[in-house]
Amino acid sequence: MNVAGSDVILEKMMSLHPKIIDLTLDRMWRLLAAFDHPERAIPPVIHIAGTNGKGSTQAMIRAGIEGAGQTTHAYTSPHLARFHERIRVAGTLISEPDLAAILEECWTRNDAQPITYFEITTVAGFLAFSRTPADWTLLEVGLGGRLDATNVIEKPALSVITPVDMDHQQFLGETLPEIAAEKAGILKRGVPCIVGPQKDAALEVIEARAARVGAPLRVHGQHWHVTEERGRLIYQDETGLLDLDLPTLIGAHQIKNAGIALAALRELGFGETACAAAVTRAEWPARMQRLRKGPLVELAGPAELWLDGGHNPAAGRAVATAIAGLPARPTYLVAGLLRTKDARGFFEPLAGVATSVTAVAIPGETATLSAAETAKAAAEAGLETHTAESLDAAIASITAAAPNARILICGSLYLAGYVLRDNG
């Protein structure tokens, strides 16, 4: 069966979405029970929540575990180019025949009852993980934490909360403490949690929740520290000090993500071999990724072409810092955002490092901001703005004026996925 086989089933699953949006675990429990609870038959779980850095942190933890000779299942979302990216079985992306077969099982067993796309595909992930041996399962939260479909794991080996910031307010709350409370919903009694760098308002909520449920915390700035010193990553905790190469993932924010991953690995008993592999072997597409091949790269000619999928104010700050850390070169943004995101908040940190923004609509996405709307948000943030009818037109326009520019396509994982289907 070819890729279209799983695509057809995934399209059918969209029709099962409840008519009213209600965050609940009831639908998950129903379908998991129908399969005799595969989530209870998977390897020990490292459960990762947070607003920013979940994917990069998971990639580093996975690289560390695999660098120590052990195997991992990994579940992440959203995908960029193909759904298969969401389910990695014992280190390998799930095959098309296996994915199509498992999705068909889920469709049949669900029997046309209401369930969200993320819920039913999460059950598919649990099924895949329960049927193949591995040493660990890395499980990334989709939205929030407390009522996320992944939060059916009763006793993970470890919880992780990456930095919490403003995002998905329509579902998680309008304030940082409200959002932090949802993320802290993954905490479980007796299960240690690695807590990444947090604003005080978020950390207070996480610490209060941990005290209530009896979850031991390992908090950045209290129990572990990470810095960059003289081109090296320096990590220190109660066990001792690590002096490592800088992460292969680009940007100052990846130093913090690496610290979270190292704290997780140390908590689980891994040594320096795993820690070194975590920072040097991790790969995570669309996070300040330099594109090297494909039609857009050819169109750009001598210009550098980069890609980042960050889409909220914190991601804007991280991207701005990453650009500032690259060799000096005029940087032009090509940006497309969804209308559910804080576009102006994303652009504001970039006003000091980007020469201009060329706004585009995200191809094939009904929730995209128009190019004009994105340009308006960028202009309000203090950036010079232009619009283009397509990515090709945007890149051609920039390179005509600045042949040796650095061009960063940014603003949305959906835009990044569109780019990566043909460019990598």
- Nearest Cα neighbor of 118 from 28, 58, 40 is 28
Map residue 419 onto helix, strand or coil. helix
**In terms of domains, do 129 and 259 share one?**
yes
- Nearest Cα neighbor of 110 from 35, 196, 208 is 35
Give the pLDDT confidence of 347-370 residue by residue, as tens digits.
999 998 999 999 999 999 999 999
CATH value at residue 326: 3.90.190.20
Give the pLDDT confidence of 248-265 residue by residue, as tens digits.
999 889 999 999 999 999
Domains identified in the chain, total number: 2
CATH value at residue 78: 3.40.1190.10
- Give me 389's structure tokens: 């009818």
Q: Which amino acid is at 314?
A: A
Give the pLDDT confidence of 178-198 residue by residue, as tens digits.
999 999 999 999 999 999 999
Task: Give the CA diameter of the chain.
Answer: 61
Question: In whole angstroms, what is the distance from residue 375 CA to residue 369 CA?
Answer: 10
- Number of C-alpha atoms within 13 angstroms, CB side, residue 147? 11
End-of-domain residue from the set 249, 280, 311: 280
**In terms of domains, do 365 and 411 share one?**
yes
Beta-sheet strands, E only, within 18-150: 45-49, 72-75, 87-89, 92-93, 136-140
**In terms of domains, do 326 and 271 share one?**
no
Backbone dihedral angles phi then psi of residue 260, each to the nearest 5 degrees: -60, -45
Q: Which amino acid is at 234?
A: I
**In terms of domains, do 269 and 298 share one?**
no
Mean pLDDT of 42-49: 98
pLDDT for the residue numbered 343: 96
Q: What is the CA radius of gyration of the chain?
A: 21
| pTM (predicted TM-score) | 0.89
End-of-domain residue from the set 280, 299, 327: 280
88 has pLDDT over 60:
yes
**In terms of domains, do 215 and 322 share one?**
no
In which domain, by residue range, is 298 found?
289-420
Give the pLDDT confidence of 120-169 residue by residue, as tens digits.
999 999 999 999 999 999 999 998 999 999 999 999 999 999 999 987 67
Residue 421 carries which DSSP code?
A: T
Place 2 in a pLDDT band, splitting at 50, 70 and 90: very low
**In terms of domains, do 47 and 88 share one?**
yes
Beta-sheet strands, E only, within 177-326: 193-195, 217-219, 224-229, 232-237, 240-244, 289-290, 304-307
- Give me 412's structure tokens: 């949305």
Backbone dihedral angles phi then psi of residue 303, each to the nearest 5 degrees: -70, 145
**In terms of domains, do 319 and 266 share one?**
no
- Number of C-alpha atoms within 13 angstroms, CB side, residue 390? 8
End-of-domain residue from the set 254, 280, 306: 280
Beta bridge partners of 307: 289, 409
247 has pLDDT over 60:
yes
Beta bridge partners of 211: none
- Give me 154's structure tokens: 């009763």
CB atoms within 10 A of CB 367: 12
Map residue 290 onto helix, strand or coil. strand
**In terms of domains, do 237 and 379 share one?**
no
**In terms of domains, do 182 and 319 share one?**
no
Pairing of the two strands 304-307 and 331-335: unpaired
Mean pLDDT of 171-182: 89
The residue assigned the tokens 């090296």 is 232
**In terms of domains, do 267 and 294 share one?**
no
Give the pLDDT confidence of 267-303 residue by residue, as tens digits.
999 999 999 999 999 999 999 999 999 999 999 999 9
Which range (16-25, 178-187, 308-317, 394-403) has the least confidence?
16-25
Mean pLDDT of 191-220: 98
- Nearest Cα neighbor of 257 from 305, 352, 185, 321 is 321
Question: In whole angstroms, what is the distance from residue 148 CA to residue 330 CA?
Answer: 41
- Give me 254's structure tokens: 């990846």
Backbone dihedral angles phi then psi of residue 314, each to the nearest 5 degrees: -65, -40
**In terms of domains, do 315 and 228 share one?**
no
39 has pLDDT over 90:
yes
Place 5 in a pLDDT band, splitting at 50, 70 and 90: confident
Beta bridge partners of 228: 233
The residue assigned the tokens 């996405």 is 365
Dihedral sign of CA atoms 396, 399, 401, 405 in order: positive
Write the CB contacts of 399 (distance below 8 Å, at least 6 apart in sequence): 299, 300, 301, 303, 405, 407
pLDDT for the residue numbered 23: 72
- Nearest Cα neighbor of 197 from 244, 256, 144, 246 is 256
- Give me 401's structure tokens: 């004026």
- Nearest Cα neighbor of 287 from 47, 83, 46, 54 is 54
Which range (17-31, 106-120, 233-247, 279-293) has the least confidence?
17-31
Question: In whole angstroms, what is the distance from residue 225 CA to residue 258 CA?
Answer: 11
**In terms of domains, do 181 and 63 share one?**
yes
Question: In whole angstroms, what is the distance from residue 264 CA to residue 275 CA?
Answer: 10
